[in-house]
Amino acid sequence: MPKTNGTLGFFENVNRSFDRAARFLTYPEGLLKQVRTCNSVYTVHFPIKTQHGYEVISGWRVQHSHHKAPCKGGIRYAPEVSEHEVKALAALMTYKCALVDVPFGGAKGGVQIDPNRYTPDEIERITRRYTAELIKKNFIGPGVDVPAPDYGTGGREMAWIFDTYASFYPGQIDATACVTGKPITQGGIQGRVEATGRGVYFGLREACEQAEDMKRIGLSPGLADKTVIVQGLGNVGYHAAKFCREGGCRIVGIAEYEGGIYNPRGLDVDAVLAHRRETRSILDFPGAENIRPSSDTLERECDILIPAALENQITEANAPRIQAKIVAEAANGPVTAQAEDILSARGVWIIPDVYLNAGGVTVSYFEWLKNLSHVNLGRMGKRFEQSAFDRILHTVERLTDTWLPEAERRSIVHGADEIDLVNSGLEETMITAYHQIYEEWKGDARIPDLRTAAFISAMKKIAVSYMELGIFP
């Protein structure tokens, strides 16, 4: 979608961030152009018979970068999906993967449907046909392009994609690695469902530990007692809110498409979710104030605002009224370029999407590795670790004549299983990536913000990959 009334589109917003970062790099113009350009765009149209009659379904798969193989990126089902949006999301995936040192090129897919209008059987037929179209053009495969869930899709759709791919390639030993975000029984990995939200928490926690930055915006270090508003109670928003609450934050506001709720004393996220399942709305939650329109919730008082819905939620129209001191971008592109300029001028600290929501692709990488190795994480070492810890603890107990209760002993000698390793790997990834970005930012006084620093860090890694391939000198 092109510019409208002077407002940049989603893809233009991403490229604007790229161009800002490019000013601080000395690579040849041709190399930077290669990094910036979408490599392949595939558009599909196919007929499906539904309860509404025959419909022609439109979809896209964009491979933004081939500097690493395979490409990686989710598939979005939404009525607003367009080629422009999918290109923007694919570009973000390229930079996101590079930032967290996941060896994938960026990709993204989209199908232009409202899933609420279709039965599960129709969704399955649409998903399988879309997958078949990708197979025809070699746009899916364990070493080619590996989709994952995104807005409007989940484990169910990923299982259908895997099954369709496997039926086209019977006997392919690595077929399960053609897609990630699958159910556990279909080769998925523990921790993938909550990975993006957990990654948001890890990234936000690390950012808030920086005392100098917190002092600059008038907050104390750490997450304890911070007030938070979350936009979106889907998978990412729910888990981000849940982990932040467990980390000491107070969730004071939640926004959904039907409206928002606000309670300065705090909201129980699980209770709100249960209320929504029962009433099909978060509105009228006991003890909370209803807010309409939903977007007004974002303007209420809080320390941290977590937009975890769709792009372009904070614009030049509402940015002057945002009261949060930190905007943590759990969604892709929730803050427009014009809004970012307004927020930055007001001293609001933005933790960018290209870093903060990378938890999903990080754990997808772990799932892909699990599928290629054909062994559950932790299976080979868990009992060995447990036995070694037990022997060490027994020696300490014997030498000190101090014997621990059995429950405490079991907790200490516990060997790492899959979920332990996944969460540990995700935490390490988010912490390491944050400090790489932070060093870029603090290492050059000209770099204005974390987003520019994140793009610089990512672009350096991608450029090095192209140079090592011999494509550029």
Set 68, 72, 87, 108: catalytic member: 108
Tokens standing for residue 298: 């974002």
Q: What is the DSSP letter of 299?
A: G
Q: What is the DSSP letter of 349?
A: E
- Measured CA to CA, the distance from residue 439 to residue 210 in angstroms comes to 12
Residue 386: CB atoms within 10 Å: 16
Residue 46: CB atoms within 10 Å: 14
Helix (H) or strand (E) run with residue 357 in it: none
Helix (H) or strand (E) run with residue 227 in it: strand 227-231
Phi/psi-derived region of residue 322, left when phi > 0, alpha when psi is between -120 and 50, beta in every other case: beta
Edge to edge, what strands does the sheet with 105-111 contain?
Answer: 40-50, 53-63, 105-111, 71-77, 145-149
- Which residue in this structure is represented by tokens 């993938």? 192
DSSP strand pairing (250-256 vs 53-63): unpaired
Is 108 designated active site?
Answer: yes
| SS3 state at 257 | coil
Backbone angles phi, psi at 469, to 5 degrees: -75, -10
| SS3 state at 352 | coil
Tokens standing for residue 249: 């934050």
- Measured CA to CA, the distance from residue 149 to residue 157 in angstroms comes to 8
Buried residues in 290-315 as b, exposed as e (16+ CB within 10 A): ebeebbebbbbebbbbbbbbbbbbbb
- H helical segments located in 100-138: 120-136
Side-chain-side CA neighbours of 330 within 13 Å: the count stands at 32
Strand partners, 227: 250
Q: What is the DSSP letter of 158?
A: H
C-alpha distances out from residue 243 to 237, 247, 302, Å:
10, 6, 17
Angle ∠(42,45,49) on CA atoms, nearest 5 = 145
Angle ∠(61,62,66) on CA atoms, nearest 5 = 130
Residues in the chain: 473
Identity at 195, one-letter amino acid code: A
Residues with a known catalytic role: 108
